[in-house]
A and B are shown apart, each in its own frame.
Chain A
Amino acid sequence: MPWQKFLGLKVPSSQSAFLKRRYSVTTDIRSFQLCSRQYGHFAVRGYAPAHSVQIYYGTLIHQVLDRAHAHYAGLRDPETEGQFPTNQDIENYFDEVDQALRVRGVQSVRSSTQAAERKAALRRLKLFNQIEGPELYPRVRDTEYRLQSDQGDYLLYGTVDVLADSPGWLPGMKGEIWDYKGANRPEPNTEKFHQYEFQMLVYAELYRERNGYYPERAILYFLNELDTAEESQIRPPEALLEVPLDPKRIEVALYIFKSTVSDIEKCRRKDEWPEPQAELLDKNTCDICDIRWNCPAHVGKYPMRYP
């Protein structure tokens, strides 16, 4: 038999070279915390969602604000350098992004309320531009600022919307990180509130690993709170939340982060993705989730559609 000629050979066990997994603060950790069942289906098993609605509003506000920053920095047109975008500029940028997303088929799910939603979104962006622009734009050092860290078994990464100099910046000062949220500010002490804070605390740690120090401030900006702003252009107090960067809280956030990664790994090993606990369910997420029809967390809540 041919194999008998190989009796003089013994191949040792092969060492599998495992690649470190990559975990994003938002698309992995927050998604898993929001709903592990949904995360397992779409991020791990490779299902493609039927609607890209969840990204429409977020993409729209981020891209318009990004254009506003680029406008002031003169990155799109050198002639606008140092000029604050006007309302008309914001409207033009809004239309540009909205049109591009529509052609790609990314749009709001609620067709009957779409016009009102677009109008509200545009108003928020104009107000942001008027209220925050004059003070913020000149301080912006970078946008979509990428951070990454080797955590031993895995790589952790995230992107902050804005890296800005601190007010009255002098060399040696540590900068600010800003994250824009297309939502209202959640009630304090709710899970959602903690998750937003947690995200900023982890970003602060990644920032420290890259720069050797924490940022001066970590800001969450809730654009939907601008709905209460009058044309007087005064920032509603609920719009801006400064997350206190206490090293102990950062440590706790990292601990939670690591245990979430460990939970993901456990789910991966068993390929079992349980539904979230009832108190963590997010109505907006569940209402448009493709796999809600037989979700054990919602028995009877979502009767089957035909089709």
Chain B
Amino acid sequence: MNLQEMLAVIEEKSGRELNEEQKAVVTHGPGPLWVIAGPGSGKSEVLVLRCLKLVCIDNVTPKSIILTTFTKKAAKNIQDRLAIYKSYLDQVDKDLRNVDLFQVRVGTLHSLCNDIMQEYRYVDYQNYRLLDDIDQSLFIYEHSDLASSQPSRHLYLPFWRHFHMLVGKYSVLTGYKWGRSQNYLPNRWLRVNATVSLFNRIVQDRIDISQMRSEGGIWETLANEYEAYQNSLELNRSCDFAHLQLKFLCFLNSPSGSLFLKGDGSLYQPGIHHVLVDEYQDTNPIQEEIYLQLAKYLRHNLCVVGDDDQALYRFRGGTVDCMVNFDSACQSAWGDQVKVTQRPLSINYRSHPKIVNWCDEYIRSFSVMSKPGARVPNKSSLSSDQYWNTRRRSQGAELDNYPVVSYLVGQSSEEVANRFAEMVTGLLANGIIKDLSQCVLLLKSTRSTDNFAGPYQAALEQQEISVYNPRSRTFLQETEIQTALGALVRILDPDQTVLSRVRTQNVRRTIEGWTQTYTELADRNDDLLNYVNRAINRIEQIPANTTVTQLATQGVTEIPATIQEIFYHMISLEPFTTWQQDAERTVRLGKLSQVLESYCLLPFSGNEGSSRGNLRTERTRRGRINSGQLNHLYYSLVGLLVSEGLNDPEDEEIICPPGQFPIMTVHQAKGLEFPFVFVSNLVPDRRVGAELQLEDTMRQFQTNPSLSGLTNRDRADQDWIRFFYVAYSRAIYSLVLLTTTNEFEKQGIGFGGYVRKWFTDEVQQLT
């Protein structure tokens, strides 16, 4: 089969013809390829076809190809598409049937780093526990002096004053905002979160620690604390996501990494010949270094696809610079003689031409976007598919005169929300949409507060519209969660002696709320009440300074009793057994078990292999769980839950269940599309955020600092512009902007960079 035949088969089966830009990417020969792909331009499809071409036409060994995506779901989607297209080709060319496309290494960069190091049994990674965000926060709470309970004020006050941008914020736990002029340290959880940011950034930005240490003062403190953290991770065989990437870089430079990259000429060790990267705009410096290392041999076959205008992940170290400066990064790594081919994908197949036009005009309307370093130089305009109307009509759409891009205004956020909810009801009742899940409301945050999702959620529910908002951070308010945690506290601290001494009022009140919920439920559920009382009695019999144990298997042996096990005992009783019949409640309880696992697996500082989940009695008093252990549980786990909140578990297989109206953050909506898109909070807070300030202050120690001369003010504005650009470009048929009169008067970033007349000419008001 040749290339033309392959494309003809795919085009016939999929019913879509590739345009010339797409073909140029698919058929590109050796060497680095830099694809600048606008929204809806079919970039993932092009990556799939390029991969298929490499394997089926160029006879590249599948195992020698790496294809990375941003999410696990996107990786599965690409694997599925590869399998489907391959099955089309197999029907035409039987010789291709023995080509095993599953050997292509498809995944997120994190998952590939993990899988490859496991596959090669990399000694410095095998049998490590990978820490997720919650695990990492709890680990730092336990192991880092920066976040300890009794730190040296003399040493750390100047430190946190310097990094006030990370800790100078309102704390839910204390109820006030810490300021630089304070003579005491910020709340412990503020310090934990700030420490997570600092340590992750050191790794992600490739900070030179020895240079940082030589600077002295607070920088020396940070360098020392970071190294202590690294040592703790190693001692406890733990690895966070940032260090996963760092370990992978070390692996690539090890003998087994060299075998992985170069191969040994056999089918089993073919080496790495091609690297394909999706969503490259959100790549951070350590990831860029990994990609450049992966493609350092042979012809530097590194193909990156992304859109600088859709970069959203500065808070994870993704600075758009990697996308904007891809050509110079390749030349700096491999020499000036390396030719980097740039290809655009500029035709948007997703959105109505008026939406495409609005998005393109929107991003160009800001002078800050034309500054050097803001966008890829000489970037093409986004253009619409000339057959969009015909194609959508053939799919059953009716497209007679309607406001494609519009805005809805109200005096207050409640009025806007009510009008929006009425509109949604009308759209559904009149058959304009077939299902609520065809719409989405996009916000900066989906927390159920007055500033964000709260009014919209209330207005929709008033219209009896079911809302899907798994990231509303209301997990802890659910009855089943409060009951489980309340019962647990009742068992471990029956008369609340330890709880009553907890100084953080919000932690204490929250726990008291849980025990109250438990008490109310226990009144009606004798089995649960009986279990809790008998567990209290059992603990009362245990001598001082003893590990609480239980019989493991029918009287044979004993094992430590853990918090997790108490949880499983409780949920075998009513009302939990009934709650487990409910699809939402049972996955919520499942998530609580994961949180408890995170806590239980936490090793004590200085005691590798120990576990916070194992229960002990007081050193000198029988029948009481160790107060230090309880205090730790309250301040660390509960402190984390109260200060950060928790989201509901999300089903990765679905975007939104049918019959429900999704409320999402723009980050959640990345890569998705919806027929009706509503966007609110159009006037964002333009203050330069902590991440930008940190970027600036750390740049002096970066191994490869960004050369962009953009100020942090410029970068803050650019981030917001990209944020709205991503939101607006999710819409297929209709984009509706929601605004209060006050916001409309202010004309913030969400309204575009031109004068108001331009906005009102382009965007139709809904009355």
Contacts and interface: CB of A to CB of B under 8 A. Distances in A.
A164 B407 CA distance: 67
Nearest to A4: B426
B558 interface: yes
A307 B561 contact: yes
A2 B408 contact: yes
A294 B573 contact: yes
Contact of B102 (A11, A16, A148, A212): A148
Interface string A8-37: 111111101111111000000000000000
A45 B591 CA distance: 9
A170 interface: no
Interface stretch (B314-322, B328-336, B357-365, B548-556): B548-556
Nearest to A102: B609
Interface stretch (B4-12, B446-454, B504-512, B535-543): B535-543
Interface string B637-679: 0000000000001000110000000000000000000011000
Nearest to A75: B256
B237 A13 contact: no
A14 B437 contact: yes
B280 interface: no
Contact of B572 (A4, A16, A294): A294
A162 B432 CA distance: 58
Max chain A CB contacts within 10 Å: which of B548, B562, B609?
B609
A288 B553 contact: yes
Given A50-B562, A70-B121, A307-B539, A10 B653 contact: no
B423 A2 contact: yes
A8 B734 CA distance: 12
B531 to A, nearest CB: 7
A210 B100 contact: yes
B534 interface: yes
Given A46-B649, A111-B557, A9 B419 contact: no
Interface in B564-608: 564-569, 572-573, 577, 583, 586-587, 589-591, 593-594, 596-597, 600-601, 603, 608
B559 A111 contact: yes
B732 to A, nearest CB: 8
Nearest to B539: A307
B577 A100 contact: no
B396 A13 contact: yes
A63 interface: yes
A104 interface: yes
Contacts of A50: 562, 564-565, 567-568, 597, 600
Interface string B93-122: 000001010100000000000000001010
Contacts of A48: 564, 590, 593-594, 596-597
Interface in B386-405: 392, 395-403
Nearest to B432: A6
A183 interface: no
Given A7-B430, A11-B433, A144-B119, A101 B127 contact: yes
A161 interface: no
A11 B564 contact: no
B589 A47 contact: yes
B552 A109 contact: yes
A135 B71 CA distance: 44
Contact of B435 (A14, A51, A149, A157): A14
Contact of A66 (B121, B554, B561): B121
A19 B655 CA distance: 11
A14 B438 contact: yes
Q: Taking each of A8, A18, A304, A307, which has the highest tally of chain B beta carbons within 10 Å of its own beta carbon?
A: A307
Contacts of B597: 48, 50
Contacts of A12: 392, 395-397, 434
Nearest to B269: A142
A9 B396 contact: no
B431 interface: yes
Contacts of A13: 396, 434-435
B590 A45 contact: yes
A211 to B, nearest CB: 7
B569 A9 contact: no
Contacts of A113: 557
B554 A287 contact: yes
Contact of A46 (B534, B594, B766): B594
Nearest to B115: A146
Contacts of B596: 48
Given A45-B586, A47-B589, A111-B558, A9 B236 contact: no
A22 B76 CA distance: 9
A103 B654 CA distance: 37
Contacts of A19: 73, 76-77, 80, 653
A46 B587 contact: yes
A9 to B, nearest CB: 4
Contact of A291 (B256, B401, B438, B568): B568
Which of A110, A142, A305 has its CB near the most chain B CB atoms (within 10 A)?
A305
A1 interface: yes
Interface in B40-98: 73, 76-77, 79-80, 83, 87, 98
Contacts of B583: 271
A200 B73 CA distance: 30
B14 interface: no
B427 interface: yes
B129 interface: yes
B237 A305 contact: no
A7 B402 contact: yes
Nearest to A52: B601
26 contacts: A1-B422, A2-B419, A8-B400, A8-B401, A11-B432, A11-B438, A12-B397, A12-B434, A13-B396, A45-B590, A46-B594, A46-B649, A47-B589, A97-B127, A102-B609, A103-B236, A109-B553, A148-B102, A155-B102, A157-B102, A211-B98, A287-B553, A288-B552, A288-B553, A305-B551, A306-B569
Given A48-B596, A76-B121, A111-B558, 18 more contacts: A2-B426, A2-B766, A6-B430, A8-B398, A9-B733, A14-B434, A14-B437, A16-B654, A19-B80, A46-B593, A103-B237, A104-B128, A109-B552, A109-B557, A305-B550, A306-B569, A307-B538, A307-B569
Interface of B: 73, 76-77, 79-80, 83, 87, 98, 100, 102, 119, 121, 123, 126-129, 235-237, 255-256, 268, 392, 395-403, 406, 408, 419, 422-423, 425-427, 430-435, 437-438, 491, 531, 534-535, 537-539, 548, 550-554, 556-559, 561-562, 564-569, 572-573, 577, 583, 586-587, 589-591, 593-594, 596-597, 600-601, 603, 608-609, 611, 615, 649, 653-654, 675-676, 733-734, 764, 766-767
